[in-house]
Amino acid sequence: MTRKQLGVLCRQGVIERVHPDVYRLTAVQSSSEQQVRAALAWAGESAAAAGRSAGELYGLEGVRADVVEIAVPRSLRMKSVSVRVHQAYAAALMVREIRGIRVTGIECTLLSLAASLDEEAFEIACEDARRRRLTSVSALRSYLRRFGRAGRPGVRVMRRLIDELDPVHAARSTLEVKTRRLLVAHGITKFVREFPLEWDGRTYLFDFAFEREKTVLETNGRRWHDDAVDYELDNEKWSVPGRHGYKIVLATWDKVTKTPEALLSELAATMNA
């Protein structure tokens, strides 16, 4: 199409200009994915969705992009009032595709999120990625060794977090992340994650165990169970610690987020009983 034809369609409201030489059909509802595609069409084939935009494309828990973020090689100098442009070495971007959209690799994406999210939100996103086997602690360490140069945003935050995380077991829920952070914030660190207890030929894993005090802390974020089988299995699981001489404390969403001091007091009393 000629520029004159594009101008006519713009005046008629059929299309609208998004970026230089990039237009969208107004009949199509705008979406964050469409905005990312438009930004990449403007930036060229070497660009990729980055930061929160990449996190949203990966479907990381709690990650939403208010502004489109893309990454380009350092050799490119691009500016836009509607797009946040990151510059990095091409190798560090580790580009892959999601639904035909170029995005930075998950390790690169998480490092960018470490610089833009608060620490709890970052841990939730990171644990979601580990839980879905998009990455691992060893993969994150390897990425930092290769590309985590001093002064790069997010490096210190990511390094500190992966030093605290269980290297094998990712948190299974946001509530578990919040519970871990609550314990650590109050100096309670001598726990075992995903503690195994066996009964009747079956092994049950418990979120936090204090072996010396023979106490288990289990997160329970569901108000009720729609599935009767699920309900029975959970009740059977919660009966197992007592058969091994362990006491159990249940950490619900309300306890962790609304009355954390009461939960900590309950845990202390149970451990000392």
Domains of the chain as residue ranges with CATH: 1-29 (no CATH), 31-164 (no CATH), 174-272 (3.40.960.10)
pTM for the whole structure? 0.87
Q: Lowest mean pLDDT: which of 19-23, 24-28, 38-42, 150-154?
A: 150-154
Which residue has better confidence, 75 or 249? 249
The DSSP string of 59-121 is T-TT---SSEEEEEETT-----SSEEEEEE-HHHH--EEETTEEE--HHHHHHHHHHHS-HHH
* pLDDT score of 225: 44
Is residue 237's pLDDT more than 70?
Answer: yes
Reported as a single tens digit per residue, the pLDDT across 43-94 is 999 999 999 999 999 999 999 999 999 999 888 888 888 999 998 888 999 9
Write the CA distances from 37 to 69, 147, 195, 245, integer angstroms.
11, 27, 45, 57
Reported as a single tens digit per residue, the pLDDT across 179-226 is 999 999 999 999 999 999 999 999 999 999 999 999 999 998 654 444
Start-to-end C-alpha separation, the chain = 79
Q: Are 246 and 216 in contact (CB under 8 A)?
A: yes
Give the strand order in the sheet containing 68-73: 83-88, 68-73, 48-49, 101-103, 96-98
Q: Are 266 and 249 in contact (CB under 8 A)?
A: yes
Is residue 144's pLDDT more than 70?
Answer: yes
Is residue 229's pLDDT more than 60?
Answer: no
| Local structure of residue 206 (DSSP, 8 states) | E
Hey, what long-range contacts does 199-204 have (CB within 8 A, 24 or more apart)?
199/240, 199/243, 199/244, 204/237, 204/240
Distance (Å, whole) CA 256 – CA 161: 20
| Local structure of residue 224 (DSSP, 8 states) | -
Q: Are 23 and 30 in contact (CB under 8 A)?
A: no
What region does 44 belong to: left with phi over 0, alpha with psi -120 to 50, or beta? left
Is residue 15's pLDDT more than 70?
Answer: yes
Distance (Å, whole) CA 10 – CA 272: 73
